[in-house]
Chain A
């Protein structure tokens, strides 16, 4: 781990090598390393250590448990539904805000950010009060026989709300920085609205878009609070992976809980690597 150089720039280039660090600098660097180990690395290692504590076979049987497989499947399904929808929403919102002037534009920018400032549990409760059987729209939903709460639609709704800003937030600043000259050029050259978007706007934001999609996926897969309110935790039916971790833990099946957590961790690590790769290529 390389530590930031706290001595004035240029001092390293004097030919006498790097000047000795002061005690203060050493102490700060040491503190940072210790905190990182305690807060980030240790739990990560511990998850895998516990997951494999009773050997490969126990781990495998835990992973292949039907309830676990269903949780993995449900979590993936939610991500597969939510991420494309959020990509579409994110692009549309960023495009509208960055390339056009209209009344209410400022309000829209604020709206995009609302999910960042609202606790997911509150979102879950709002949906429950709105779409639950005793909720505002409950009677009507009952009539058309559509179950939103304690079912897939509710989980998707909450996850979508929580992850809504991710793509827009990544794409918007880039679109604003690029301005509208390229789009105007394309229009004067005879391109239609779709052609302008497809051939000029989209290629310009492709890395930011992927980056946002990765963040969005990671968040969608890991969402716990909001989903726990609306899903009802029905094992093998509405239990997503994060909820399953808690369930197994409460069942005192620590190895199972850590096995589930390890799959989530792997997903998170893959997302992190993708994010790092994309970060280098962004812009």
Chain B
């Protein structure tokens, strides 16, 4: 089922949670909504599910207006962040729930319901857990039961809210691969919400980066990584070094920075901001350098360094420890930027609010 969202807005009290969302999802596509907490991604998912209602905008699925449809009539599969399994029902009953609450007229016979539950449990490799209760399951097992419960009603759209958020790293990677397999086997249009870039990029066909209630960028991993569309995306993708530069004829320049590795860009002359990842910055000892090393730390494999300039600007660099030049605290250095995104300073009236760097992406 294809999904079309247009001009969607939503506010809770005075907080704007969604500020005009336009998004098309193709039939059978697997899309990730990626963003820091508070970006509106879960609200968007809940609106698609019918658990929240937008203030304005359209939502249609396969040509049908879903805003005229109650949640229970949309036939979606929703997997909750903390699974929301029914604690007083066995795994089998949890999975069969959606079939047993159908109106009598189109409720399958008991035997059919049991067969469908068995089939799903076998497919999800949890058939040995059929008679257990949620409290007796591990996180990964609960996650599978939640997915089984959602799939039992043959959903038209599958929605997952932070599906791996509550699991530890090893299980997360396993389940990610496995969910991709489930998606390919069922072919259902799937949208999942995550704040984890790796998860989004590894799993999804397309990633929708959200920030402050807006869609900042839609694309594939490489596009978003190499060509962030906005300063927000650049920061979110780990470009934590932010420096003022001056553009002239498409080339950026700044004191003490070697920017010759950057390609020329079709950007207007004037002041701009450069966003770079610490790993894309090289530090070299330079007796005439305007940067000074203020801290130096080693993780064994990598050397992390912060440097400041006389005007207060600060930069971080990260490089393999082996083969790194001899650097000492307080020494003057020069910095070379290998890759970066540059955004011209917007005029005041069109400026997007400058966001503080969200903590969770500072990885």
The finding on whether chains A and B are genuine partners in a shared complex, rather than unrelated, reads: yes
- Check A188/B86 contact, CB under 8 A, given A181-B80, A195-B101, A199-B101: no
Tell me, in angstroms, the Cα distance from A188 to B49 when the chains sit together.
Answer: 7
Cβ of A203 under 8 Å from chain B:
yes
- Check A189/B82 contact, CB under 8 A, given A184-B51, A203-B88, A204-B88: no
Cβ of B84 under 8 Å from chain A:
yes
Tell me, in angstroms, the Cα distance from A191 to B84 when the chains sit together.
Answer: 15
- Which chain A residues lie closer than 8 Å to B97 at the CB level? 186, 189, 191, 199
Please state if B78 and A188 are interface contacts (CB–CB under 8 Å).
yes
Please state if A190 and B72 are interface contacts (CB–CB under 8 Å).
yes
CB distance from B147 to the nearest CB of A (A): 12
- Which chain B residues lie closer than 8 Å to A192 at the CB level? 72, 101
- Which chain B residues lie closer than 8 Å to A146 at the CB level? none
Tell me, in angstroms, the Cα distance from A194 to B88 when the chains sit together.
Answer: 18
Cβ of A61 under 8 Å from chain B:
no
Tell me, in angstroms, the Cα distance from A200 to B153 when the chains sit together.
Answer: 18
- Which chain A residues lie closer than 8 Å to B82 at the CB level? 181
Please state if A190 and B80 are interface contacts (CB–CB under 8 Å).
no
- Which chain B residues lie closer than 8 Å to A191 at the CB level? 72, 97-98, 101
- Which chain B residues lie closer than 8 Å to A186 at the CB level? 86, 97, 101
Cβ of B292 under 8 Å from chain A:
no
Instruction: List CB contacts (< 8 Å) of A212-252 with chain B.
Output: none
CB distance from A210 to the nearest CB of B (A): 14
- Which chain B residues lie closer than 8 Å to A203 at the CB level? 86, 88
How many residues on chain A are close to B (CB under 8 Å)?
16
- CB-CB nearest in chain A for B149: A189
Cβ of A41 under 8 Å from chain B:
no
- Which chain B residues lie closer than 8 Å to A199 at the CB level? 86, 97, 101
Instruction: List CB contacts (< 8 Å) of A89-127 with chain B.
Output: none
Cβ of A182 under 8 Å from chain B:
yes
- CB-CB nearest in chain B for A200: B86
CB distance from A106 to the nearest CB of B (A): 15
Cβ of B113 under 8 Å from chain A:
no
- Which chain A residues lie closer than 8 Å to B36 at the CB level? none
Please state if B86 and A189 are interface contacts (CB–CB under 8 Å).
no
- Which chain B residues lie closer than 8 Å to A204 at the CB level? 87-88
- Which chain A residues lie closer than 8 Å to B72 at the CB level? 187-192
How many residues on chain B are close to A (CB under 8 Å)?
26
Please state if B80 and A184 are interface contacts (CB–CB under 8 Å).
yes
- Which chain B residues lie closer than 8 Å to A189 at the CB level? 72, 97-98, 101, 149-150, 152-153
**Contact bitstring B50-81, A, C-beta under 8 A = 1, else 0:** 11000000000000000000011111111010
Cβ of B180 under 8 Å from chain A:
no
- Check A181/B88 contact, CB under 8 A, given A189-B98, A199-B101: no
Select which of A181, A182, A190 is within 8 A of B75 by beta carbon: A190
CB distance from A190 to the nearest CB of B (A): 5
Most buried by B among A185, A186, A204: A185
Tell me, in angstroms, the Cα distance from A248 to B51 when the chains sit together.
Answer: 61
Instruction: List CB contacts (< 8 Å) of B83-101 with chain A.
Output: 84-88, 97-98, 101
**Contact bitstring A170-205, B, C-beta under 8 A = 1, else 0:** 000000000001101111111110010001100110
Tell me, in angstroms, the Cα distance from A200 to B76 when the chains sit together.
Answer: 19
Cβ of B265 under 8 Å from chain A:
no
Cβ of B177 under 8 Å from chain A:
no
Please state if B101 and A184 are interface contacts (CB–CB under 8 Å).
no
Cβ of B102 under 8 Å from chain A:
yes
Please state if B78 and A184 are interface contacts (CB–CB under 8 Å).
yes
Tell me, in angstroms, the Cα distance from A217 to B82 when the chains sit together.
Answer: 37
Select which of A181, A187, A190 is within 8 A of B102 by beta carbon: A190
- Check A188/B101 contact, CB under 8 A, given A182-B86, A204-B88: no
Tell me, in angstroms, the Cα distance from A204 to B149 when the chains sit together.
Answer: 19
- Which chain A residues lie closer than 8 Å to B73 at the CB level? 190
**Contact bitstring A67-106, B, C-beta under 8 A = 1, else 0:** 0000000000000000000000000000000000000000
CB distance from B3 to the nearest CB of A (A): 16
Please state if B153 and A190 are interface contacts (CB–CB under 8 Å).
yes
Please state if B75 and A185 are interface contacts (CB–CB under 8 Å).
no
- Which chain A residues lie closer than 8 Å to B149 at the CB level? 185, 189
- Check A188/B88 contact, CB under 8 A, given A181-B80, A199-B101: no
- Which chain B residues lie closer than 8 Å to A195 at the CB level? 101
Select which of A181, A182, A188, A200 is within 8 A of B71 by beta carbon: A188
CB distance from A165 to the nearest CB of B (A): 26
Tell me, in angstroms, the Cα distance from A199 to B49 when the chains sit together.
Answer: 21
- CB-CB nearest in chain A for B102: A190
Most buried by B among A192, A200, A203, A204: A200
Tell me, in angstroms, the Cα distance from A191 to B101 when the chains sit together.
Answer: 5
Most buried by B among A182, A184, A204: A184
Select which of B76, B85, B87, B102 is within 8 A of A188 by beta carbon: B76
Please state if A181 and B101 are interface contacts (CB–CB under 8 Å).
no
- Which chain A residues lie closer than 8 Å to B51 at the CB level? 184, 187-188
Please state if B102 and A182 are interface contacts (CB–CB under 8 Å).
no
- Which chain B residues lie closer than 8 Å to A200 at the CB level? 86
Tell me, in angstroms, the Cα distance from A192 to B98 when the chains sit together.
Answer: 11
Going nearest first, the 5 A-B pairs with the smallest beta carbon separation are A189-B98, A181-B84, A191-B101, A185-B84, A188-B78
14 further contact pairs, Cβ within 8 A, besides A189-B97, A189-B153: A181-B80, A181-B82, A184-B84, A185-B78, A185-B80, A185-B84, A187-B72, A188-B51, A188-B72, A188-B76, A189-B72, A195-B101, A199-B86, A200-B86
23 contacts between A and B (CB under 8 A): A182-B85, A184-B49, A184-B51, A184-B71, A185-B86, A186-B86, A186-B97, A187-B50, A187-B51, A188-B49, A188-B51, A188-B74, A188-B76, A188-B77, A188-B78, A189-B152, A189-B153, A190-B72, A190-B73, A190-B75, A190-B98, A195-B101, A199-B97
